């Protein structure tokens, strides 16, 4: 189990080889417990990127650990038999419990409801792809909502074809959903400045990124910059502005 946590971290940090990633994804398909551990760890990784630092979480874990150890000592003094569990496992369980609570709370916050309502990620449908290509693998991962893998494969593809604007657009969405907000903002800003089919999407997804970051001032500013001539997003932008102002 301890090795599994290390493996998951290596995967999330993009440190695995192509063969190792394939083996990892194969295990995700066939091992429900491993997949559950991965989902919790991935959610925690995104959550931590939204925090000012990891110190508060570490403090929480230390507090939970101290509480656990105190309870264990009390049990021993009362003659109770306690099961010996490695410290790393206790911390992992505590972290998972905190993460599940945080996710549950955050999913019911108004800004998350708005994001889920307006951020229509949709499905990836690349024009040129094959099941064994980076774009083909990216599409499979993206449509399975495995945005971390999609980000990895799109990055690999764009190293070979850096002008593929469609792949750049989906890289921005993958970055957004993976918690790489600054990179997503840069990608959407470049799309907004360009003269491509995705130009009208750029400013909207900038606003969605700020909304997910809970940066309402910048979100509001981005929405106001969407012109009336942008038929795809203008009305939704005006509607969302009203809801943000009412929050």
Mean pLDDT to the nearest integer, 123-149: 84
22-26, 36-40, 212-216: the lowest-pLDDT one:
36-40
Q: Are 212 and 119 in contact (CB under 8 A)?
A: yes
More confident position, 239 or 129? 239
**What residue ranges do the domains of the chain occupy?**
2-106, 116-246
More confident position, 14 or 45? 14
pTM over 0.75: no
Give pLDDT tens digits for 209-246. 999 999 999 999 999 999 999 999 999 999 999 999 88
Q: If you compute the radius of gyration of the chain from its CA atoms, what whole number of angstroms results?
A: 21
More confident position, 33 or 210? 210
Give the length of the chain: 247
Reported as a pLDDT band with limits 50, 70 and 90, residue 31 is confident
- CATH 1.25.40.10 for domain 116-246, yes or no, is yes
C-alpha to C-alpha distance for 156 and 162, rounded to whole angstroms: 10
112-118 contact pairs (CB < 8 A, 24+): 114/211, 114/240, 114/243, 114/244, 114/247, 115/208, 115/211, 115/212, 118/208, 118/211, 118/236, 118/240
Q: Are 167 and 140 in contact (CB under 8 A)?
A: no
Burial bucket for residue 145 (CB in 10 Å: 0-12, 13-18, 19+): exposed
Give pLDDT tens digits for 84-108. 555 545 555 555 555 555 544 444 4
């Amino acid at each position: 189990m301890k090795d599994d946590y290390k493996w998951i971290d290596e995967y999330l940090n993009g440190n695995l080889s192509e063969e190792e990633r394939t083996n990892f994804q194969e295990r995700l398909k066939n091992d429900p417990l491993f997949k559950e551990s991965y989902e919790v760890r991935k959610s925690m990784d995104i959550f931590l990127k939204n925090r000012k630092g990891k110190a508060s979480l570490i403090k929480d874990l230390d507090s939970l650990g101290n509480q656990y150890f105190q309870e264990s000592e009390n049990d021993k003094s009362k003659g109770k038999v306690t099961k010996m569990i490695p410290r790393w496992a206790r911390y992992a369980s505590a972290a998972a419990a905190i993460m599940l609570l945080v996710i549950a709370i955050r999913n019911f916050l108004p800004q998350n409801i708005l994001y889920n309502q307006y951020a229509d990620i949709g499905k990836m449908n690349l024009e040129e792809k094959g099941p064994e290509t980076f774009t083909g693998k990216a599409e499979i991962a993206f449509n399975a909502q495995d945005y971390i893998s999609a980000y990895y494969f799109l990055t690999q593809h764009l190293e070979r074809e850096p002008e593929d604007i469609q792949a750049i657009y989906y890289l921005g969405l993958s970055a957004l959903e993976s918690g790489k907000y600054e990179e997503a903002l840069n990608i959407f800003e470049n799309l907004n400045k360009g003269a491509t089919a995705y130009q009208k999407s750029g400013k909207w997804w900038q606003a969605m990124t700020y909304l997910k970051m809970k940066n309402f001032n910048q979100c509001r500013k981005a929405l106001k910059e969407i012109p009336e001539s942008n038929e795809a997003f203008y009305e939704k932008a005006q509607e969302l502005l009203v809801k943000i102002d009412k929050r």
